């Protein structure tokens, strides 16, 4: 079985650490990647981190995960609340899926309270800042090591 875990990030998350630090914190996506890679290595796994502002590219990457990844950690950004297409792609994926939000979406505007992805996710994190990615990763590695 693959030891690789994909960490997918949706629209605008390339701006992490560069705008709106009061909501999303000061850390960048590079920090997420470095932290997660160090953790994954210590647990005997590997990560590949992606970010795209384009729904189709995210879907293509989920399709690629069917062959290449044992788990997906996904922060779909605003597509969380709009994309049946990303849900359909995740439903066609057999591995573990964790949904990760940096902010606590339930404390924010009501349009952020519904997620299409949650009905497929094996676990959901929200409001733990970028540490949420590592928490998802720990859980994925723990389940995959059983
Ligand atoms: O809290 C999260 O992680 C979100 O998935 C982030 C999305 C938002 O639409 C979701 O409701 C919750 C927005 C990502 C935008 O990221 C930025 C980061 C820094 C500066 C500007 C945007």
Determine whether 63 is an active site residue: no
Atom of ligand 1 nearest to the CA of 13: 16
**Is 93 labeled as catalytic in the residue annotation?**
no
* Burial of residue 57 (number of CB atoms within 10 Å: 0-12, 13-18, 19+): middle
Q: Is the pLDDT of residue 133 over 90?
A: yes
Encode burial over 98-108: b for 16+ CB neighbours within 10 A, e otherwise. Answer: bbbbbbebeee
Residue 75 phi, psi (nearest 5): -110, 100
Q: Which pLDDT value is given to residue 2? A: 85
Question: Does the CB atom of residue 78 touch ligand 1 within 6 A?
Answer: yes
Q: Report how far residue 134's alpha carbon sits from residue 71's, in angstroms, rounded to the nearest whole number.
A: 13
Question: Does residue 72 register a pLDDT over 90?
Answer: yes
Task: Give me the sign of the Cα torsion angle 47, 49, 90, 138.
Answer: positive
Residues constituting the chain? 146
Judge if the beta carbon of residue 102 lies within 6 A of ligand 1: yes
pLDDT at 40 over 80: yes
| Residue extents of the structural domains in the chain | 4-145
Instruction: Round to whole Å and give the CA distance between 91 and 77.
Output: 18
* Among 63, 81, 101, 113, the one annotated catalytic: 101
The residue-averaged pLDDT of 19-32 equals: 94
Task: Inform me whether the pLDDT recorded for 1 exceeds 80.
Answer: no
Q: How many CB atoms lie within 10 A of CB 27?
A: 17
Cα(22) to ligand 1 centroid in Å equals 12
15 lines ligand 1 (CB under 6 A): yes
Residue 120 Cβ contacting ligand 1 at under 6 Å: no
Instruction: For residue 117, name the pLDDT band (cuts at 50, 70, 90).
Output: very high
CATH fold for domain 4-145: Rossmann fold (3.40.50)
27 close to 17: Cβ distance less than 8 angstroms: yes
């Amino acid at each position: 079985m693959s030891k690789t875990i994909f960490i997918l990030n949706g629209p605008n998350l390339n701006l992490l650490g560069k705008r709106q630090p009061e909501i999303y914190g000061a850390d960048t996506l590079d920090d997420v990647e470095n932290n997660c890679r160090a953790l994954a290595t210590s647990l005997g796994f590997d990560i590949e981190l992606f970010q795209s502002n384009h729904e189709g590219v995210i879907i293509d990457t989920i399709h690629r995960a069917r062959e290449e990844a044992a788990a997906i950690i996904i922060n779909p950004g605003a597509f969380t609340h709009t994309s049946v297409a990303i849900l359909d792609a995740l439903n066609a994926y057999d591995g573990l899926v964790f949904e990760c939000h940096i902010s606590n979406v339930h404390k924010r505007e009501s349009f952020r309270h519904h997620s299409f992805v949650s009905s497929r996710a094996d676990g959901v994190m929200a409001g733990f800042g970028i540490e949420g990615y590592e928490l998802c990763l720990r859980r994925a590695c723990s389940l995959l090591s059983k």
